[in-house]
């Protein structure tokens, strides 16, 4: 069983990740396309331009994010199930397959390049995460023992 | 050319092609220059962007040059590439070349001579000499390369625990316990999400054995995930001396290994109880294997206590032979019960005179005063029982002490947290978090001032 109790165990976490990524994309898309729509509309139509840009574009961004998140999570779970190990390589392998799967319609060259790029990116993420974990890990410290006092127990 | 361009851009219809060709032919040089200019305005790039890459003219030329050779085909394909494509291809080629050069030179750098003997020692490569023969270079390179990756798989700390406490505070043995599926178990269901439960008898197990053992929790999960659970098992920090987590494990070949030799404790005085045999694969002779707890009520922890108590109270020079005297360590509890039974029988047969002693001074005095005979005359006891009784008494005393002082201890801890927990981000970045030694120093200074 996974140790991270902020996340559900494997098959269900795919749904969570899909939803999480989708909402992230929608929120980010709203900001991005809201500003874009605002800037690209003529004076007097800016409010309407913003709204229409958000309405037409933000769900698409959300969908893109959601597909990425859902696919990644699916691959991550599959890799975990097959390897039966929990380490950083899971994410890298899952990233490789995700990048490849999303680019598969662009031909095999594109698929390959995209898979490698995605794997590298996730490798960097995982590496940075592990570094942070290593540097924030605190060594246990000895309690301060009073010198002349008898111990309470034993 | 002009005609083609015009056609491509659909500025003119194919029907006017013939006339425009005538016009082109009759133009003078200067006009041709004009045509070139036109060329530049409608570059392939723009056309490609507008979606005119494959147009009628192409198809026409294809039918015209049906029997043309491959060379011409290739040239057409090259024409299909926009200038942007070419630029991109060039950049990609540069990237590939620089990657290759970088890799080769990096590997070459890794195969250099040893910087110093220290490095050689650190990589356990004393048999690999300096010098530039292919095998030696390869060996050095592979050692250095693997050391780059072992950085992540080695334990974070060199010594996992601080040195043993001063003599007065020292327990006879050190007990290393894994956390998940030995002491606690987490379950997930759709209704409640994650829930974590303590194993039955856990509090007694920790409380009782903490008088014999320096208890170290050594979890198999990250500190981030397990620290709170570990703290909750022992909120007063009375039982568990230290807690270590995955960061202190070595990761090798997909196995999480808990290397006891890094614990900073005498291996002959250390016992590890774990549910995963990979964990103690370096020191299997120190281990008591247990099956992973599935969350259902059981009394496995309590059943372990007599043996662990026996182990700690007998002052063995080395616990390993004792542990390995059991034929099957999985059934250690049952086997120990058997042994204890035998021992008891033997002791009883050897001390019959004590057990059968009915008439002694104590009994006589008690009968004179009309009291039950046990009040003056303690029943003779087997040493193991005496140890047990003593341990239980001490456990009760300690519990009483904890109960009385718990609010005070919690309050003190909270005070400490309030004082040292607050730290500005600026200070955190510039100076790093306050080290434990620092906090201890400040505390001791304050204590000295207070007294």
Check B166 against A145: CB less than 8 A apart: yes
pLDDT for position B62? 47
Q: Is the pLDDT of residue B359 over 70?
A: no
pLDDT for position A102? 93
Kindly indicate the confidence band of residue A67, based on its pLDDT and cuts at 50, 70 and 90: very high
Rg of chain B's alpha carbons, rounded to an integer?
41
Which one is predicted more confidently, B11 or A11? A11
pLDDT in tens, A84-140: 888 888 999 999 999 999 999 988 989 999 999 999 999 999 989 888 888 877 777
Kindly indicate the confidence band of residue B68, based on its pLDDT and cuts at 50, 70 and 90: very low
Kindly indicate the confidence band of residue B432, based on its pLDDT and cuts at 50, 70 and 90: low
pLDDT for position B19? 45
> Of all residues in chain A, what percent carry a pLDDT higher than 90?
61
Check A142 against B212: CB less than 8 A apart: no
> Which stretch of DSSP H or E encloses residue B67?
none
Which one is predicted more confidently, B185 or B156? B185
Which one is predicted more confidently, A65 or A130? A65
Across A3-17, A113-127, B226-240, which has the greatest mean pLDDT? A113-127
Which one is predicted more confidently, B317 or B12? B317
pLDDT for position A84? 84
Looking at CA atoms only, how far is residue B206 from chain A in angstroms? 14
- B162 closest CB neighbour out of A1, A142, A153: A142
| Across B9-13, B108-112, B319-323, least confident range | B9-13
| Across A22-26, B55-59, B259-263, least confident range | B55-59
Burial tier of B309 (Cβ tally within 10 Å: 0-12, 13-18, 19+) = buried
Contact in structure between B196 and B185 (CB atoms under 8 Å): yes
pLDDT for position A75? 95
- A141 closest CB neighbour out of B162, B168, B244: B162
Say how far apart CA B213 and CA B208 lie, in whole Å.
9
pLDDT for position B363? 66
Counting other chains too, the contacts that B170-173 makes at CB distance below 8 Å and 24 or more residues apart are B170/B214, B171/A154, B171/B210, B171/B211, B171/B212, B171/B213, B171/B214, B171/B312, B172/B212, B172/B213, B172/B269, B172/B312, B172/B313, B172/B315, B173/B212, B173/B213, B173/B214, B173/B269, B173/B270, B173/B271, B173/B311, B173/B312, B173/B319
Mean pLDDT, chain B, as a whole number? 77
pLDDT for position A76? 93
Kindly indicate the confidence band of residue A65, based on its pLDDT and cuts at 50, 70 and 90: very high
Q: Is the pLDDT of residue A154 over 50?
A: no
Looking at CA atoms only, how far is residue B98 from chain A in angstroms? 16
* Non-local CB neighbours of B79 within 8 Å, separated by 6+ positions: B44
Segment B84-93 shows an average pLDDT of 90
Interface confidence (ipTM) of the complex: 0.75
Mean pLDDT, chain A, as a whole number? 87
pLDDT for position B354? 66
pLDDT for position B87? 92
pLDDT in tens, B272-317: 999 988 888 888 888 899 888 888 888 888 888 888 888 888 888 8
- B188 closest CB neighbour out of A9, A139, A145: A9
Say how far apart CA A75 and CA A69 lie, in whole Å.
10
Q: Which residues of B touch A (CB under 8 A)?
A: 152, 156-157, 160-163, 165-166, 168-169, 171, 180, 186, 188, 190, 193-194, 196, 210-212, 221-226, 237, 242-245, 247, 251, 254, 394, 397-398, 401, 436-437, 440, 443-444
Contact in structure between B277 and B290 (CB atoms under 8 Å): no
Q: Which residue of chain B comes nearest to A87, CA vs CA?
A: B254
pLDDT for position A97? 95
Q: Which residue of chain B comes nearest to A133, CA vs CA?
A: B247
Say how far apart CA A61 and CA A37 lie, in whole Å.
14
| Across A38-47, B56-65, B242-251, least confident range | B56-65
Say how far apart CA B249 and CA B258 lie, in whole Å.
5
Phi and psi at residue B274, to the nearest 5° = -145, 155
pLDDT in tens, B364-399: 666 777 766 565 556 667 788 888 888 888 888 888
pLDDT for position B12? 45
Whether the CB of A109 is below 8 Å from some CB of chain B: the reply is no
pLDDT for position B6? 45
Q: Which residue of chain A comes nearest to B255, CA vs CA?
A: A85
Cα diameter, chain B? 149
Looking at CA atoms only, how far is residue B12 from chain A in angstroms? 33
Q: How many residues does chain B have?
A: 451
Whether the CB of A138 is below 8 Å from some CB of chain B: the reply is yes
Say how far apart CA A55 and CA B120 lie, in whole Å.
63
Candidates B262, B249, B260; CA nearest to B221 is B249
Cβ–Cβ pairs < 8 A, chains A and B: 79
pTM, entire model: 0.69
Check A3 against B221: CB less than 8 A apart: yes
pLDDT for position B137? 84
Which residues from A are below 8 Å from B221, CB to CB?
3
Say how far apart CA B3 and CA B56 lie, in whole Å.
12
- B188 closest CB neighbour out of A8, A141, A153: A8
pLDDT for position B426? 67
pLDDT for position B410? 85
CA angle B266, B272, B277 (to 5 degrees): 130
Q: Which residue of chain A comes nearest to B395, CA vs CA?
A: A153
pLDDT in tens, B165-217: 888 788 888 999 999 889 999 888 888 888 888 999 899 999 899 888 899 99
pLDDT in tens, B204-222: 999 899 888 899 999 888 8
């Amino acid at each position: 069983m996974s140790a991270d109790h902020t996340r559900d165990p494997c098959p269900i976490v795919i749904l969570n990740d899909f939803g999480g990524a989708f909402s992230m994309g929608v929120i980010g898309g709203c900001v991005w396309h809201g500003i874009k729509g605002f800037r690209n509309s003529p004076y007097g139509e800016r409010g309407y331009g913003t709204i229409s840009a958000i309405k037409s574009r933000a769900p698409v961004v959300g969908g893109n994010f959601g597909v990425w998140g859902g696919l990644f999570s699916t691959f991550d779970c599959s890799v975990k199930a097959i390897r039966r190990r929990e380490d950083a390589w899971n994410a890298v392998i899952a990233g490789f397959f995700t990048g490849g799967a999303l680019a598969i319609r662009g031909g095999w060259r594109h698929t390959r390049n995209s898979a490698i790029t995605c794997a590298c990116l996730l490798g960097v993420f995982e590496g940075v995460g592990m570094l942070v974990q290593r540097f924030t890990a605190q060594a246990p410290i000895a309690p301060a023992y009073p010198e002349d006092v008898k111990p309470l127990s034993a | 050319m002009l005609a083609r361009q015009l056609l491509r851009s659909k500025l003119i219809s194919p029907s006017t092609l013939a006339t425009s060709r005538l016009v082109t032919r009759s133009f003078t040089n200067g006009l041709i220059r004009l045509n070139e200019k036109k060329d530049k305005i409608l570059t392939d790039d723009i056309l490609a962007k507008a979606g005119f890459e494959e147009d009628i003219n192409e198809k026409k030329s294809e039918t015209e040059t049906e029997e043309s050779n491959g060379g011409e085909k290739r040239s057409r394909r090259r024409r299909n590439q926009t200038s942007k494509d070419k630029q991109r291809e060039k950049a990609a080629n540069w990237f590939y070349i620089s990657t290759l050069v970088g890799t080769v030179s990096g590997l070459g750098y890794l195969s250099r001579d040893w910087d110093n003997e220290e490095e050689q020692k650190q990589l356990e490569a004393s048999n690999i000499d300096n010098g530039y023969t292919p095998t030696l270079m390869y060996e050095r390179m592979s050692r250095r390369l693997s050391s780059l990756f072992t950085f992540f798989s080695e334990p974070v700390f060199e010594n996992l625990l601080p040195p043993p406490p001063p003599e007065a505070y020292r327990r006879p043995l050190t007990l290393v316990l894994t956390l998940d599926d030995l002491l606690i178990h987490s379950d997930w269901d759709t209704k409640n999400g994650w829930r974590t439960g303590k194993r039955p008898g856990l509090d007694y197990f920790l409380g009782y054995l903490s008088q014999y053992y320096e208890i170290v929790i050594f979890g198999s999960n990250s500190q981030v995930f397990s620290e709170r659970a570990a703290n909750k098992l022992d909120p007063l920090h009375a039982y568990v001396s230290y807690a270590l987590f995955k960061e202190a494990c070595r990761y090798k070949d997909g196995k999480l290994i808990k290397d006891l030799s890094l614990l900073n404790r005498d291996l002959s005085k250390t016992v590890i109880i774990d549910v995963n045999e990979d964990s103690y694969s370096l020191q299997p002779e120190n281990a008591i294997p247990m099956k992973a707890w599935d969350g259902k009520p059981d009394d496995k922890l309590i059943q372990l206590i007599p043996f662990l108590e026996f182990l700690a109270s007998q002052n063995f020079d080395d616990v390993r032979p004792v542990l390995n005297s059991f034929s099957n360590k999985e059934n250690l509890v049952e086997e120990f019960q058997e042994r204890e039974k035998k021992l008891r029988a033997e002791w009883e047969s050897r001390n019959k005179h004590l057990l059968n002693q009915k008439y002694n001074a104590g009994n006589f005095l008690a009968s004179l005063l009309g009291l039950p005979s046990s009040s003056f005359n303690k029943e003779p006891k087997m040493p193991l029982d005496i140890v047990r009784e003593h341990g239980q008494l001490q456990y009760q005393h300690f519990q009483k002490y904890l109960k009385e002082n718990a609010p005070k201890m919690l309050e003190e801890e909270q005070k400490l947290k309030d004082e040292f927990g607050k730290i500005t981000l600026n200070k955190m970045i510039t100076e790093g978090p306050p080290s434990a030694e620092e906090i201890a120093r400040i505390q001791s200074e304050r204590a000295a001032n207070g007294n």
